[in-house]
Amino acid sequence: MTSTVPAIVILGQGSLATARRIQQRYPEALIHGLAGRVEGSDRPYTEFGATLRELYQQDTPIIALCAAGIVIRSLAPLLLEKGAEPPVLVVAEDGSAVVPLLGGLGGVNVMAREIAAALQVAPAITTSGELRFGTCLLNPPSGYRLGDLEQGKRFVSDLLAGEPVRIEGAAPWLDQAQLPQDAQARLAIRIDSAAGVPAANELRIYPRSVVVAVSAGATDVLASIEQALAQAGLAMQSVACLLTADSDMVRSELQQAASVLGVPLRFVTANGSVAQWLGDAIGHRASPRVSGDVAIAVAAQPLDPQRIGRPRGRLAVIGLGPGAAELMVPAVRAELDRATDVLGYETYVRMAGPFRADQIQHCTDNREEMQRARHAFELAAQGRSVVVVSSGDPGVFAMAAAVLEALHDSSDPAWHQVDLEILPGVSASLATAAQAGAPLGHDFCVMSLSDNLKPWSIIEKRLDLAAEADLALAFYNPISRSRPWQLGRALEIVAQHRTPGTPVVLGRDIGRPGQTLRVTTLGQLTPDQVDMRTMVLVGSSTTCVFPRAKGGDWVYTPRWYGDKPL
């Protein structure tokens, strides 16, 4: 996912003022500050190198306020890989220097000029073409696509060697450039959407002004598109988007065709002929050309695909992990960044933030799970990118099952076409176990002690059988104000099968501010030591405890059972 909103990364409190000045230029950018060193950043991080690499791999432009060397060393391992190359800039802590480092074709010099203007200094531009012409010819603005990068580099070398150039076609962004123009020049920058092999002395730039529509149920999609474009004499590079009927939303053939063309797939509710709905989508003056299942329209100007039809909606059910940012999986972080709408219990939505101004937060009460799940589908079916937030793992006593149940109950095809994905998180039992050692190192049983959604008799039966089977036990939702006696009863049942010396781990607010971890025994455990923010882990007959050097205890359940292997 390309995100054009940059991340501002700082290492110390001294950089915050400069970071805020840069943020005024990019109001949606968040300031990432090193936890423990920076107070008042938008998003604390714990490891500089890992944070930088993650942003880079997500194609997020990076503005780092620190020494260039630190950034170079942190990103070095990624530079040999082919992949995203977002703009990367370093800015001196006091705002006195702005140095573009990477992402020449991603607009780093444009950003360097913007930031330098905001800080009232001169940017340290080192790219020859950029210095000479005031623009990067190989990085046309959005709405245009460069034909061939390697050929483009040779072309710019020739220009730098002093040759004049002529411009054929409309390139309004080059009006400001200082190009040595001459109508008789051998070299030409050519801007149009015609097909054909570029001549050696031409730099081809294609306006993305062509929409290709494919009728519902069409087969051999890519070949038909290529043929239709060839017949119309149009270059593949000029295609702005592929438009198709929403009834074809989940067809992988269309997704493949769009990815080969490198364009987004957009959808319409198809009425009438393919030419008609193409006209509806981009205006009737476009007079589409139809060939078989494919219709093509050429607009006078480059098109913004975001304004044509609508995208396939996405719904991701994500787990935040226990709370600490470094225990959240990177895929979840990326999903939160791309979301248009975030749904969930207010506490968790706040934990997932901060969000940009364009991201809508829908906070609801914790109990309204099915309603929230249906709301999520309604939004996603409109083409929005929706995230439903759970703590820990979404599949463990949380939203994933509710979302799937809502989908299973629904006969609305639009809901079933949503691009649905469940992204895992570190569940509270696992986060608590890791802090204590490995109390769940052998077979274990996970239970919610809440009888809100299941009869208490079932809970008693399962407890009895799990305790008898000598499984280690992990209790979620152990107690609450409306369920005051259940934990005491549960412990009585467990005590019928376990000795009073059985180790018990209590993890409260693990991974969150003020977390506590206690190791006690079944005999000493009383319900008043536990609340609804606590995870209760009860050992099996083999669970061991021994002191750790720094104080406290290690708890583990060995991998073996029966006789200790030699």
Choices 170-178, 276-284, 373-381, 476-484; region in contact with ligand SAH by CB under 6 A: 476-484
Nearer to ligand SAH among residue 287 and residue 366 (C-beta): 366
Contacting residues for 272 by C-beta, under 8 A, at least 6 apart: none
Pairing relationship of beta strands 544-547 and 553-556 according to DSSP bridges: antiparallel
Choices 15-23, 153-161, 208-216, 395-403; region in contact with ligand SAH by CB under 6 A: 395-403
Contacting residues for 117 by C-beta, under 8 A, at least 6 apart: none
With binding defined as CB under 6 A, does residue 507 bind ligand SAH? yes
Q: Which of residues 318-347 bind ligand SAH (CB under 6 A)?
A: 322-323
Nearer to ligand SAH among residue 193 and residue 427 (C-beta): 427
Q: Which of 268, 535, 538, 555 binds ligand SAH (CB under 6 A)?
A: 535
Contacting residues for 106 by C-beta, under 8 A, at least 6 apart: 61, 85, 86, 87, 139
With binding defined as CB under 6 A, does residue 532 bind ligand SAH? yes
Q: Which of 428, 459, 467, 491 binds ligand SAH (CB under 6 A)?
A: 428
Contacts 24+ apart (CB under 8 A), 498-503: 498/467, 498/522, 498/538, 498/539, 498/540, 498/541, 499/523, 499/541, 500/524, 502/538, 502/539, 502/540, 502/541, 502/543, 503/439, 503/538, 503/539, 503/543, 503/544, 503/545, 503/555
Residue 136, both tokens = 């990067």
Residue 151, both tokens = 């050929």
Nearer to ligand SAH among residue 107 and residue 437 (C-beta): 437
Pairing relationship of beta strands 98-102 and 88-91 according to DSSP bridges: antiparallel
Nearer to ligand SAH among residue 135 and residue 534 (C-beta): 534
Choices 237-245, 258-266, 369-377, 388-396; region in contact with ligand SAH by CB under 6 A: 388-396
Contact yes or no for 234/277 (Cβ under 8 A): no
Rounded least distance, CB 321 to ligand SAH, Å:
8
Laid out side by side, the sheet with 165-168 consists of 144-146, 202-207, 187-191, 165-168
Residues in the chain, overall count: 566
Q: How many residues bind ligand SAH (CB under 6 A)?
A: 25
- Nearest of 426, 461, 556 to residue 503 by alpha carbon: 556
Cα–Cα distances (Å) from 221 to 19, 215, 260, in that order, read: 49, 10, 11
Q: Which of residues 101-140 bind ligand SAH (CB under 6 A)?
A: none
Nearer to ligand SAH among residue 53 and residue 533 (C-beta): 533
With binding defined as CB under 6 A, does residue 510 bind ligand SAH? yes
Nearer to ligand SAH among residue 10 and residue 400 (C-beta): 400
Choices 11-19, 147-155, 506-514, 519-527; region in contact with ligand SAH by CB under 6 A: 506-514
Q: Which of 93, 130, 335, 393 binds ligand SAH (CB under 6 A)?
A: 393
- Rounded to whole angstroms, the Cα distance separating 566 from 564 reads 7
With binding defined as CB under 6 A, does residue 392 bind ligand SAH? yes
- Nearest of 352, 321, 327, 324 to residue 338 by alpha carbon: 352
Residue 548, both tokens = 């750790």
Rounded least distance, CB 404 to ligand SAH, Å:
15
Choices 305-313, 381-389, 453-461, 503-511; region in contact with ligand SAH by CB under 6 A: 503-511
Choices 119-127, 218-226, 231-239, 473-481; region in contact with ligand SAH by CB under 6 A: 473-481
Q: Which of 18, 23, 477, 557 binds ligand SAH (CB under 6 A)?
A: 477
Q: Which residues bind ligand SAH (CB under 6 A)?
A: 322-323, 390-393, 396-398, 427-428, 432, 476-478, 507-512, 532-535
